[in-house]
Amino acid sequence: MVQKEQFTGRDFLALMDYSKEEIVYILDTAADLKNRQRNHQAHVLLPGRTAMMIFEKLSTRTRISFQAACAHLGMQSFYTMPEQLQMKRGEPVKDTARVIDRYCDVLFMRTFGQDKIEEFAQYMQHPVINALTDMTHPCQGLADMLTIRENLGRLEGFKLAYAGDVWNVCQSLMVAGSIMGFDVFVARPAGYEPPERITKFVADSCAKSGATVCLTDNLEEAVHDADIVYANTWHSMGGPEKSKEQRVQDFAPFQINAKVMQWAKKEAIFMHCLPGYRGEEMTDEVIEGPQSRVFDEAENRMHTEKAVLYLLLS
């Protein structure tokens, strides 16, 4: 039986650090907080707490959703970019981390390498939350699962087809499926592969949950009979090994359009983490169509992040 107290003071760096039962508990908490907000019920659960936000990458949903979540919980948040900190001049991460730890109750960080956010967590006593790294995007993973559960009523025994860059969002979905027990079929051009750290975890986790996580270069195979079709950009933020032009050329056969959606189940839903590039990874008729749950998914970023904050800080 999962207890609320077992979350207190923990970091949230990757879904890999949490069990199936713990993830369900976070989603249940998010659903409760969402219901409170929908019913205009105040939920100032963390008054007087402070949050530091360091973002090395551009952001719309992550920044605004975290700041809105903090406001609803009664917290004060501070946003900065690295060029505004002494890290720009060479101050060690461990020094910056220990100073922030004296001022704030939590750090959200959006950065490149997973090693950097793990170093912050090593030198901070307060929780560190991964707001996106090149390896994983656990907050997006939670929002995706809440959206799926709202539409399918479950988090196991279904098929999710993903088409897009094999990067943080894709890797979080692979991890989520392997833990929760749903199948993930990733359609991508040959040569775009996840890192060994992800593939090893997913293989071990699938052996326990019975889920299937498969990478294929056949889009129809991936989408056939899928309950969820998930598109993502072909050129993620980070340090891609190929140019944007090359990626667009490589991924062009993997666009999600009306014809491709017909390969999925009739009642399938369409998802996308955004930002979305209409005319590339999906067409306008799909993202604006009746099967799209994209903006519900974006809203759920706030509710799930609010749940993480509440659980880690209370």
CA angle 57, 214, 235 (to 5 degrees): 25
* Per-residue confidence (pLDDT) for residue 156, from 0 to 100: 97
d(CA 226, CA 31): 25
Average pLDDT over the chain, rounded to whole? Answer: 96
* Per-residue confidence (pLDDT) for residue 52, from 0 to 100: 97
- Whether 240 has a pLDDT exceeding 70, the answer reads no
* Topology at the third CATH level for domain 4-136+299-313: Rossmann fold (3.40.50)
CATH 3.40.50.1370 domain extents, the chain: 4-136+299-313, 140-297
d(CA 277, CA 164): 11
What are the tens digits of pLDDT across the range 150-185? 999 999 999 999 999 999 999 999 999 999 999 999
What does the pLDDT average to over 94-123?
A: 97
Q: Give the pLDDT band (50/70/90) at residue 296.
A: very high
From residue 181, how far is each of 78, 82, 158, 190 by CA, in Å?
37, 38, 8, 26
CA angle 160, 162, 168 (to 5 degrees): 115
* Per-residue confidence (pLDDT) for residue 218, from 0 to 100: 98
Which of the residue ranges 67-81, 142-156, 163-177, 231-245 would you say has the lowest mean pLDDT? 231-245
* Per-residue confidence (pLDDT) for residue 241, from 0 to 100: 65
* Topology at the third CATH level for domain 140-297: Rossmann fold (3.40.50)
What does the pLDDT average to over 233-252?
A: 83
Q: Give the pLDDT band (50/70/90) at residue 244.
A: confident
* Per-residue confidence (pLDDT) for residue 239, from 0 to 100: 57
* Per-residue confidence (pLDDT) for residue 243, from 0 to 100: 86
Percentage of the chain lying above the pLDDT 70 cut: 98
* Per-residue confidence (pLDDT) for residue 238, from 0 to 100: 60
* Per-residue confidence (pLDDT) for residue 88, from 0 to 100: 83
What are the tens digits of pLDDT across the range 24-35? 999 999 999 999
